[in-house]
Structure 1
């Protein structure tokens, strides 16, 4: 606190010299996007010349004596601009640079952005200048971003929990498993930057309590043909192989693009748990080898109908062919820890799913300074068909089979999701402020057909008590507005989003209807004290609607005593988030607070009388999260670049159901360090060492033990850097294991899970064609709903 007080005193008193005046401003391009790394040259009194560059927000600042000056703004691929000004008071000059097409084919940008940038509403990890962008995929690359965790292919923020993932400002339309498959199909060398948006502005859907992660793909600039092919071979317990490629072509008014990837292989997750009943202890070991074949592809066309009109049409789709072979062994111990009995269960599951989506896009410009209308129409459909066969056999302590204990079962589920959205946005940039507003309609239908069978005389017979047809409808209408203004050293941004939602769920002839109107305000303030010190403050309110799969009451049995099911009457939760941060040179410190209301999570309900373990999501949590974060990025020595982050947080959770602990709170910490090495002057032999450590902490009503991970890799570039070869090893020490405990109905439960994360990977990639082809920047309209197919 003393540090912040010192800086505020410095800002408001120490820099108020009467001898010098401020010259500051902002530089944007034709679309009113901030332009970093613009050179600003000032010449004037006594022929003195001063230079600076705009920062990540496109802003610059000088301290000058009163007088007449010439100010020149210049940047690669833009026309230079000269302004003459007389300084008698603090002065602001805002300029808009025009692109220079004549230089695009011949000039390459050589300025290098910092690895981490702090913007008014997000933190940016500039991947294209990072060694991590070679030899891996988008999902693994996310794990290298400071503060972002990837465990069991699920993405979260350290200390905060799950977060939604976007590609080029659109939420990915896939379930949890398919999302990971899709991210693994994106080579990380295609990624320009990763944006961590903990408090998204009003133009984004309000869905997602902990914000968004936006993966921005690279774009280049001239006409022609471009493509690439890639392949990878990964060895965990078993091998996984993948191949793919992409093609892009742009000529005159037409841009065509397509890509295809396929991955096939298997891993061996290992899940271990212990349940401590009053009279017995159950020890469960689930060893599962699962196989996946995942082809996916995308194609599209953009057409520049006129100077001010852009039309686009795209399609993407994919399927997953999954099957697993499970072996579940349960040992039951008595109070004196002697073996009482055993339960064995063998299972195999088959899942076939596919998705299709199409997008129509219209961008209509009203003038040359950025006023425009954008319309998106989207259709998305998802289908899956699940079948799980399993049997159970009980044994006495001496290993003899208990008579008549053998039983066989079959669980099936068919799910259909259809989604339609229409979205219209209007951008109105003016000289003194920017205004953005829009509207969105979304219509969702979800139908699940659930059936449970028991084998009798080699024939599967339906159990009507465990079969169900579930229908779900959700319609949402949204209006939103966003306002942005810069006043000298201050940036202000405010927004308001209103969403009216109607839902209806029907399960076993039980109808659940609800409708609600919610408002989601956002506020951002940034103060740039000088070229070294920046302060920011933001606030936002978010909603977290349940993923569709958590609304599906389908029961997925591990054995006759344990199953997981959805809850068709699950309600959304809400988050209020506030954050204050300070950046000094290469150091960034932030203090944040969030409150979760009506939070939901999976609870493993246990029954002492029957020993049944039923996992089900319910609304029961009121949570509070306090976090202090420190980040630093610097060059240790020549050829060694390091980025590190240290988070301290305090979680407190209060339960609204009697079966769990009433309260649970505790401290936690998270440390990560990404180190990139260059071994030769041509920068063609590269290395990387990545480490993170999660200290023991509290998450919801679970107590998590420590967990850490070490990755190493070496990469080389050949054939004028068109070919890339990489060898990487992940989880080298085999320490990325998830261990936690909880207390339900006064019964302690402990879990120890490992998801085959120690892997060795060899990656090959070859680029061909024109390296500077450009794809149009497009955003889909059904961002939130498609993500909730998770």
Structure 2
């Protein structure tokens, strides 16, 4: 075991420490043990840009990659305590292996590279192929770039196939049966939810995504937002020197066509890296929605309705990203990234509805044509700084900082023309809506990390963010060619949210125990105001979010991890926005300005066998859970909205098993058995009895002869009771093959082969009982082509990372 001595801090480090430690200090979850050392050539010179890899000792799978600095020094942070293999490689040299070594306990390593024939590089390139899914104690990794099924798909499609993730009929995401997720794109918060988030994820081609992290126990470094966890999306980054690029195109066909195409370019030299990418998507879709409703009074039926809604949409989107990293000195790097999304989603819908009385007699009918047009011009920019202080006997202290700004635009137009054939007079009604909205997001954050005496590791940081939303909507009604403003629906809603946060954490690593604890404090200030009526609300609150993680190996093959945390879900601006979004003449969505945040306390015990097989037990208690419900308004229309209930209890058993039945066949099986119980009632209507549910997944990866590979994926969601809703079982099966020929890769896949994704849902409330079935264009066959060009034989270089990327690295994720 190596024991370190303490060296005094420099003046800059002392100032940084004083600033950061002035914040609430405590213990936090999940940091990582480290391997350090130096790489040299056979002649004794420092080896710059050598590739250092950390491998699991059981199957040599790569779990971390870094690159040596100009002076040959490196730092490899392990995902968790334990034993690992370490390898180093560089073009023209033999790959060198060491270990297994104990993470955090090994002395600084001195690695010497020996010359080798160039032909040996080919063997290195195919070594250590990663599986599609990896289960770690606090997260699941989804290696999107490795999947043949990702070709031609959207990021939303990929999420729908990920372990434990579900996309419901309203395009809401849930993880392990729980809603309330924080979505990050390259470390940056995406402040969209529901249909708008789904449209953004549909506009992002899966070809641009390197991997996903599904983080169920986030460390204190992350925002407290997201009671169910975090979905962290990491885009592809080219690490090769020189000028390189990738071009891709894919065409899929279900009922309608779907095209995606893109180009990425990267130019890297010693101190400068320039990069950019562009993607275009043209995807047509349909939605069939059949609704049966029973209207109630005192629990007895008063009338019935049968509706059939059909719509066709056409998404066209342009996604771009450009940036630069510049090395100011061997220890300091700055980066600038700008990105944007411009999408348009017009749709044409037809609604047919029949209304009848309790005797089954037809009382009314309607025919409606619903034309909608959604535009979302979005743009974002981030300026980042990374500075490494002078290395001492304890390691290399590091400071990262980010400044972010983003603008999300929204333009929504509605033209709803309704005809009532049974009425003799005024049998048409036309409603026109024009909504314009802008969402501004800005933030600044700094993070500091260093090793201390006694095998302790400190991380601390601060963040300030502000969200400002301005929505203006005009509704008009037209009769006999004359338009008149509907003053009951027209309004303007402005909302601001300001958050100040600070955190600190300590980790102590010993051979038989890793203990990590942290404390995050957040002060939140929100204000909302409607121009019409002058209604407004204010929220001011400060909350602490402690977390604790304890990991202990019991034997050489068994390890236990205990994690406790507290998290928060603030209502989104859409959930608070009182504007109406019409589905058809009888239904609309409306926000609830009276919503309060929900807070969750979670405890999870995870057992890992042979560093591969994982079993977890977890319990979550949520106070003031936010639940989507249906109500009847004064006009008898069905309003979908959100309410707070008193409490929610969640129990779950999770299982994950990566298997290898044969050398050419890898299998990943995962299961989630859960039980969700809400407490409370709505308008005097008690909640139905809770019942257990399950999410099962099986992914097969095949390595076939002559350079072919294949994937077969299946997921099953059992019948589930969630609040007042009962969701029937649904499933999906996908299959794909791929072959690489030099720099080109061909892929062919089929999604939802048996068309089992259509969803059936039923619910009963005090004034209403409803059941519906919804289906989309999910059964698709896609062919794709990807071509990589440029200086592929030059060794990978260490690219300057933003603070967000370092956040991921220090939190223990795989890069």
TM-score by length of 2: 0.82
Contact 1:27 1:54 in 2 (8 A): yes
Equivalence for 1:11: none
The 3 A distance-change label for structure 1 pair 468 and 762 is same
The answer to whether structure 1 residue 241 and structure 2 residue 259 are counterparts is yes
The answer to whether structure 1 residue 631 and structure 2 residue 626 are counterparts is no
Q: CA deviation at 1:598?
A: 1.1
For 1:207, which of 225, 244, 248 is the aligned residue? 225
Q: CA deviation at 1:34?
A: 11
Equivalence for 1:143: 160
Equivalence for 1:372: 398
Output aligned runs, 1:292-331, within 5 Å.
Answer: 292-331=315-354
Output aligned runs, 1:463-612, within 5 Å.
Answer: 463-507=486-530, 508-585=533-610, 586-606=612-632, 610-612=635-637
For 1:387, which of 413, 419, 425 is the aligned residue? 413
Q: CA deviation at 1:151?
A: 4.8
Equivalence for 1:344: 367
Runs (5+) with no aligned partner, structure 2: 1-31, 39-50, 59-75, 296-300, 808-815
Deviations 1:577-623 (CA, angstroms, capped at 9, x unpaired) = 1111111134211111112211213221025x843211222222521
Deviations 1:195-224 (CA, angstroms, capped at 9, x unpaired) = 221010100001111011223445565421
Give the count of matched residue pairs: 722
Distance 2:761 2:684 in 1: 18
Contact 1:168 1:778 in 2 (8 A): no
Q: CA deviation at 1:519?
A: 0.6
The answer to whether structure 1 residue 427 and structure 2 residue 445 are counterparts is no
Equivalence for 2:292: 274
Deviations 1:511-531 (CA, angstroms, capped at 9, x unpaired) = 211200011111111111233
Partner secondary structure for residue 156 of structure 2: helix
Equivalence for 2:801: 777
After TM superposition, the structure 1 stretch with the greater mean CA deviation from structure 2, 617-626 or 104-113, is 104-113
Equivalence for 1:95: 107
After TM superposition, the structure 1 stretch with the greater mean CA deviation from structure 2, 270-279 or 658-667, is 658-667
After TM superposition, the structure 1 stretch with the greater mean CA deviation from structure 2, 650-659 or 98-107, is 98-107
Deviations 1:716-762 (CA, angstroms, capped at 9, x unpaired) = 222x2x21121211111111012111112242111211122111111
The answer to whether structure 1 residue 734 and structure 2 residue 778 are counterparts is no
The 3 A distance-change label for structure 1 pair 544 and 313 is same
The answer to whether structure 1 residue 676 and structure 2 residue 676 are counterparts is no
The 3 A distance-change label for structure 1 pair 138 and 770 is farther
Distance 2:250 2:268 in 1: 29
The 3 A distance-change label for structure 1 pair 713 and 115 is closer
Distance 2:294 2:96 in 1: 73
The 3 A distance-change label for structure 1 pair 672 and 428 is same
The answer to whether structure 1 residue 452 and structure 2 residue 470 are counterparts is no
Equivalence for 1:66: none
After TM superposition, the structure 1 stretch with the greater mean CA deviation from structure 2, 133-142 or 476-485, is 133-142
The 3 A distance-change label for structure 1 pair 130 and 758 is closer
Partner secondary structure for residue 466 of structure 1: coil
Partner secondary structure for residue 665 of structure 1: coil
For 1:258, which of 276, 282, 285 is the aligned residue? 276
Deviations 1:534-585 (CA, angstroms, capped at 9, x unpaired) = 1111011111112222222211223443221122332211111111111113
For 2:770, which of 749, 754, 764 is the aligned residue? 749
The answer to whether structure 1 residue 170 and structure 2 residue 188 are counterparts is yes
Distance 1:471 1:676 in 2: 50
The 3 A distance-change label for structure 1 pair 125 and 350 is closer
The 3 A distance-change label for structure 1 pair 536 and 291 is same
After TM superposition, the structure 1 stretch with the greater mean CA deviation from structure 2, 521-530 or 182-191, is 182-191
The 3 A distance-change label for structure 1 pair 94 and 577 is same
Runs (5+) with no aligned partner, structure 1: 1-24, 41-52, 62-71, 784-790
Distance 1:258 1:618 in 2: 43
Contact 1:661 1:743 in 2 (8 A): no
The 3 A distance-change label for structure 1 pair 57 and 111 is farther
Contact 2:687 2:723 in 1 (8 A): no
Equivalence for 1:227: 245
For 1:761, which of 782, 789, 798 is the aligned residue? 782
Distance 2:334 2:681 in 1: 51
TM-score by length of 1: 0.85
Distance 1:243 1:125 in 2: 22
The 3 A distance-change label for structure 1 pair 56 and 414 is closer
After TM superposition, the structure 1 stretch with the greater mean CA deviation from structure 2, 434-443 or 628-637, is 628-637
Higher relative contact order by CA 8 Å / sep ≥ 6: 1 or 2?
2
